[in-house]
Amino acid sequence: MSTLRLLISDSYDPWFNLAVEECIFRQMPATQRVLFLWRNADTVVIGRAQNPWKECNTRRMEEDNVRLARRSSGGGAVFHDLGNTCFTFMAGKPEYDKTISTSIVLNALNALGVSAEASGRNDLVVKTAEGDRKVSGSAYRETKDRGFHHGTLLLNADLSRLANYLNPDKKKTGGERHYLSAFPRDQPHRAAAGDHP
């Protein structure tokens, strides 16, 4: 079994955090496993192949000083604020296994009293009377000798701001109500669906 390093960024700069993630991924020994935890101040992060003018309201982002960053994995555009925590599991092959990292996140949420499950869209969801509510989204990247699984945890995110900066495909996401804030400000210890305008 390889060694494990836990790295936590104290920066809220998305460009710095994504650069650190990339540097760790490229430079770590293939025998090492890394868990990198980080948060970004107000930022829209787009996938490797996305068009920011299609995915984002760039005019509103500029007005509100929301940054734009591109990650090295695929997937959709996401809004980060300090209520959103990012995680990156990295490992060399054959130890890299996204089902294991997904299980670790699910077990951690369960230990915090959030009964989540994996969905077919790289998301972790909580079942509510109104339907599935997303608490985490993930994206992945693999090279010939290593891989990473990174994702978000909506711990205390301001979900009302999503519609200000993202142009989601309503057929895929169901809009803002598709999300659940796992740890609302007034009840940090249990899951509850947020009331959003």
The residue with tokens 């909580």 is: 126
Q: Give the strand pairing for 131-142 and 146-154.
A: antiparallel
* Cis peptide leading into residue 29 (ω within 30°): no
CATH 3.40.50.720 fits 4-178, yes or no: no
* Residue at 5: amino acid letter: R
Q: How many residues are present in the chain?
A: 197
Q: What is residue 129's predicted lDDT score, i.e. its pLDDT?
A: 82
User: For residues 170 and 105, what is the distance between their CA atoms, to the nearest angstrom?
Assistant: 27
User: For residues 104 and 26, what is the distance between their CA atoms, to the nearest angstrom?
Assistant: 23
User: For residues 106 and 84, what is the distance between their CA atoms, to the nearest angstrom?
Assistant: 16
- Tokens at residue 117, please? 């499950």
In the chain, domain spans: 4-178
Q: Please report which helix (H) or strand (E) contains residue 110, including its range.
A: helix 98-111
Three-point CA angle 99, 101, 107, nearest 5°: 100
Give all strands of the β-sheet with 43-46 in edge-to-edge order: 67-70, 43-46, 78-80
* Residue at 157: amino acid letter: A
User: For residues 145 and 2, what is the distance between their CA atoms, to the nearest angstrom?
Assistant: 14
Q: What is residue 178's predicted lDDT score, i.e. its pLDDT?
A: 60
Q: What is residue 28's predicted lDDT score, i.e. its pLDDT?
A: 94
Predicted structure pTM score: 0.84
Q: Where would I find the H helices in the chain?
A: 14-27, 52-55, 58-63, 98-111, 162-165, 170-173
Residue 145's alpha-carbon distances to 71, 75, 92, 116, 151, in angstroms, are: 20, 22, 6, 31, 21
Q: Which residues are registered as beta bridge partners of 69? A: 45
Consecutive sets of 10 residues in the chain, 197 residues long: mean pLDDT of each? 88 98 95 96 94 94 96 92 95 93 93 87 84 89 95 88 82 53 39 33
